[in-house]
Amino acid sequence: MTADAYKPPESKLTQKTGVHVPQSVLTNIRNAWICGLISTVLTVLVVSIHLVGSEDNRFGAFALIDASAMGLLTLGVSRKSRVCAVLMLLLFLSNRLLLWADNGFTSGFGIAFVFLWFYTMGVIGTFRYHAIMQNDAN
């Protein structure tokens, strides 16, 4: 008997398909999850500072839930999830609209636009990525 008789069967699932995904698509996805990571870390830092100097913990609880959601969505985007990319964009946009409703549109408009741009490009990137993968499967 040869050694090949005892070799486990190989599956094609782990083999690379040779699909070429443009670097711009992967960059858009990467930039979106990096912005999500930055947003999550900044939210946790701001909440931590607020909790130290305030007796009102309602803000902290809701903001920590928001940061947790953003963190989970960021993980999903890093794994190229279209649903997570769309939800992350909507979560960020809704948070900004609530903040602007309370503080006016002058509150962080420039940086919010930059984040909004990267999240939107992340949504486009994840949809393009899956379109490329779908075309390769056919």
- pTM, whole model, 2 decimals? 0.80
pLDDT confidence bin for 39, thresholds 50/70/90: very high
What size, in residues, is the chain? 138
- 81: which residues sit within 8 A by CB, 6+ positions away? 126
Q: According to the model, what pLDDT value does residue 64 have?
A: 86
Closest by CA position to 122, among listed 94, 91, 81, 92: 81
pLDDT at 133 over 60: yes
Amino acid letter for position 63: A
Q: Is 29 exposed, middle or buried (0-12, 13-18, 19+ CB in 10 A)?
A: buried
- pLDDT (mean) for 129-137: 87
Q: According to the model, what pLDDT value does residue 119 have?
A: 98
Q: pLDDT tens digits, residue range 81-111? A: 999 999 999 999 998 888 878 776 666 778 8
